[in-house]
Amino acid sequence: MSASTEARWLWPAAALIALVSGAAAVAIIEITQHPYPIWRGLVFRYLLFRQDLTGLALLVAIAVLACIPATHAPALRLVEAIGRRPGLTAVLTFIALCLGTVYAAHNHALAGDEHLALMQSRIFAEGRLTGQVPPDLLPWLVSDYYRYRWVMVDAAAGEIAAIYWPGFALLLTPFSALGIPWACNPLLAAAALALIGRLARRLTGEVQAAGWAMLFTLASPGFSGQALSYFAMTAHLLVNLVYAWLLLERTPRRLFAAGLVGSLALLLHNPVPHLLFAAPWIVSLAWEPGARRRLLPLALGYLPALAIGLAWAAFMRAMHGFILFAVFPHDDNPLNILGNFFWYWHFRLGMVFGAPSEYSLAGRIGELVRLWAWAAPGLPLIAAAGWWLGRHNTGLRLLGASLAVTLAGYFLVSFDQGYGWGARYVHAAWGALPILGAAAVVKLGEMRSLAALRGWVAAAAVLSLVFATALRWWQIHDYIAEHVSRKPPYAAGLRQFVFVHHEIRYYTQDLVQNDPFLRDPVVFLLSRGRMEDYFMMRSLYPAARQVSDDWRGHVWRLD
Q: Is 459 helix (H, G, I), strand (E, B) or coil?
A: helix
Which segments of 76-137 are extended strands (E)?
A: 131-132
pLDDT for res 2: 46
pLDDT for res 236: 97
pLDDT band at 328; cut points 50, 70, 90: low
Alpha helices in 130-183 (DSSP H): 138-141, 167-177
Residues forming a β-bridge with 553: 500, 550
Buried b (16+ CB within 10 A) or exposed e, 323-332: eeebebeeee
CB contact set of 6 (below 8 Å; sequence gap of 6+)? 448, 449, 450, 451, 452
Q: How far apart are CA 205 and CA 176, in angstroms?
A: 40
Query: How far does CA 62 lie from the centroid of its chain?
Result: 26
User: Residue 271 pLDDT > 70, yes or no?
Assistant: yes
Average pLDDT over residues 446-470: 88
Q: How far apart are CA 492 and CA 403, in angstroms?
A: 45
pLDDT band at 155; cut points 50, 70, 90: confident
Pairing of strands 522-526, 496-500: parallel
pLDDT-wise least confident of 17-21, 264-268, 364-368, 455-459 = 364-368
Helices 167-177 and 112-125: angle between axes, nearest 10 degrees:
60
pLDDT for res 298: 94
Torsion of CA 288, 305, 278, 163, to 10 degrees: 160
pLDDT band at 1; cut points 50, 70, 90: very low
Q: How far apart are CA 196 and CA 241, in angstroms?
A: 7
Task: List pLDDT tens digits, range 342-384.
Answer: 776 666 666 677 777 777 788 889 899 999 999 999 999 999 9
Strand order in the sheet with 159-162: 131-132, 159-162, 151-154
Give CA separation, 499 vs 112, 517, 551, in Å: 17, 18, 11
**Position 136: which residue type?**
D
CB contact set of 41 (below 8 Å; sequence gap of 6+)? 359, 362, 363, 415, 416, 418
pLDDT for res 35: 61
Contact 85, 77 (CB under 8 A): no
CA-wise closest residue to 220 among 189, 185, 245, 241 = 189
Percent of the chain with pLDDT over 70: 93
**Position 202: which residue type?**
R
Give CA separation, 414 vs 207, 355, 361, 525, in Å: 43, 7, 9, 30
pLDDT for res 326: 61
Task: List pLDDT tens digits, range 459-475.
Answer: 999 999 999 999 999 99
Q: How far apart are CA 110 and CA 249, in angstroms?
A: 40
pLDDT band at 36; cut points 50, 70, 90: low
Percent of the chain with pLDDT over 90: 71
| Dihedral (CA of 4, 5, 7, 11) sign | positive
| Dihedral (CA of 103, 108, 109, 111) sign | negative
Task: List pLDDT tens digits, range 166-206.
Answer: 999 999 999 999 999 999 999 999 999 999 999 999 999 99
Average pLDDT, the chain: 90
Q: How far apart are CA 367 and CA 495, in angstroms?
A: 42
The pair phi, psi for residue 251, each rounded to 5°, is: -80, 155
pLDDT for res 68: 92
Task: List pLDDT tens digits, range 304-315.
Answer: 988 998 888 888
pLDDT for res 452: 77
CB contact set of 354 (below 8 Å; sequence gap of 6+)? 360, 412, 414
Rg of the chain on CA atoms, in Å: 25
User: Residue 41 pLDDT > 60, yes or no?
Assistant: no
**Position 404: which residue type?**
A
